[in-house]
Structure formats: C-alpha cells, structure tokens
Chains A and B, each alone.
Chain A
Amino acid sequence: MNDQQDNPIREAITTAIHGNEVILFMKGTPEAPACGFSARTAGALRSLDVPFAAVDILPDPRIRQELSAYSQWPTIPQLFVGGELVGGCDIVLEMLETGELAELLGVDGAAEPLPAPAVSNGGTLQIENQH
C-alpha cells in the first residue's frame, strides 16, 4: 500500500494484528471496559483462560477509523485470531456458546493456554497483554 508509510496508525494496527495471536480491540481495558459489548467480549476470552492482547481504541479516534477501514467492520469490539477478523461481540459470544471459540483458540474448556502473545514495542498503540 502506497500510503502505508504516511499512515503510522494503520501500520501499528496491522503490526499488532499480525504480531499477536489473539488480539482484542475494545473500548477501555479488560479491567475497566468502557462499553458493555467490549466487557462481554473480553469476558468471553477470559472465561476460556486464554492469554490475549488488548488495545483500547478510545485514546485516539483515528485508531477506530483506521481499524474499521482495514477490517471492513464498523463496530467495536473486534477480535482477531491468527491475523484474521473473527468478529465482534455477537459473533464471539455465539462462538463461545457453540464451543467454536474454544476450538478456534485451541482450548477445550480449561485446557492449556496458547503461547503468550508477543509484546508490542510500538508507541502508537497501547497494547496490554492479558494472562
């Protein structure tokens, strides 16, 4: 992409998505979610006891803008696994219920967690790693 160089936020987003096996873009943080949909989605991941990275999109409106342009998904939260968009709150909760989420994340119920996600070194996004 031609404008990649001029677009550090887009670049930080794609780097974060590809550098973290499981990453959730949300409003607020898993400890202090700022929206019920984000809270429920983070809760779904926690219920499976998988480590995941979390990005709060609220500090800069451009994060949400660039994320939605990249993912072609209009709402927050957005969960990515292995670099692919899994969905927002509705899809994640539906997949939690059907067991598809556990399967996708390679856990069955309370089985072994995934390897810890890579730690970000970028300054553009605040990425938290959840264990």
Chain B
Amino acid sequence: MPDAVDIKSRIEAAIPGAQAEVEDWTGGGDHFRATVVAPSFAGLSRIEQHRLVYRVFGEEIGGPIHALSLTTHSE
C-alpha cells in the first residue's frame, strides 16, 4: 500500500523539477491530497497538469489509491 512519502517521491521522480507535498487525507492509506509545483506545468491547462500527475500512478488511481486530490501550480 502506498504512503504519502511514496507518492511524493514518485511524483518528484516522474515530473521534471516537481516539488510535491502529500498528505494522507484520512489516515487510511488510500485517500491522498497533493500539492504539486513544477515549472514544466507552465503553459498547460489545469486538466493537463492533473493528467500528468495521475499518469504517474496509472491504474493505481481508483485501485489502491482510491483518491488523489490535486492542486497544481507551475511556480
């Protein structure tokens, strides 16, 4: 089961220059909330920014990761 530290490091490893803050929303290890700041988000719509983060986890979203609530910024 992924934990918040896991999710943070996977986001930061996958998205160039990204800095993520991740918290386990409910303490249950399946609802997470993340704020991700990455210069590579510049020029992308919110939808595209969120898709990039969701893509890091693929099928895990909706599976072991029931919910990953996102706030994204380019700076």
Q: Say whether A91 contacts B67, CB under 8 Å.
A: no
Residue B44 interfacial (CB < 8 Å): no
Q: Say whether A74 contacts B69, CB under 8 Å.
A: no
In the complex, which residue of chain A has the Cβ closest to the Cβ of B59? A74
Q: Say whether B46 contacts A87, CB under 8 Å.
A: yes
Q: Say whether A75 contacts B47, CB under 8 Å.
A: no
Residues of A within 8 A of B54 (CB): 73-75
Residue B61 interfacial (CB < 8 Å): yes
Q: Say whether B46 contacts A75, CB under 8 Å.
A: no
| Known A-B contacts A74-B54, A75-B54; A90 and B71 likewise in contact (beta carbons under 8 Å) | yes
Q: Count residues of A near B (Cβ-Cβ below 8 Å).
A: 15
Q: Say whether A89 contacts B69, CB under 8 Å.
A: yes
Q: Give the CA-CA distance A75 to B68 in the complex, in Å.
A: 9
Q: Say whether B62 contacts A91, CB under 8 Å.
A: no
In the complex, which residue of chain A has the Cβ closest to the Cβ of B57? A74
| Known A-B contacts A85-B47, A87-B50, A91-B50; A74 and B61 likewise in contact (beta carbons under 8 Å) | yes
Which A residues are closer than 8 A to B by beta carbons?
A: 37, 64, 68, 72-75, 85-91, 94
Selected A-B contacts with CB under 8 Å, 6 pairs? A37-B67, A86-B47, A87-B50, A91-B46, A91-B50, A94-B71
Which B residues are closer than 8 A to A by beta carbons?
A: 46-47, 50-51, 54, 61-62, 67-71
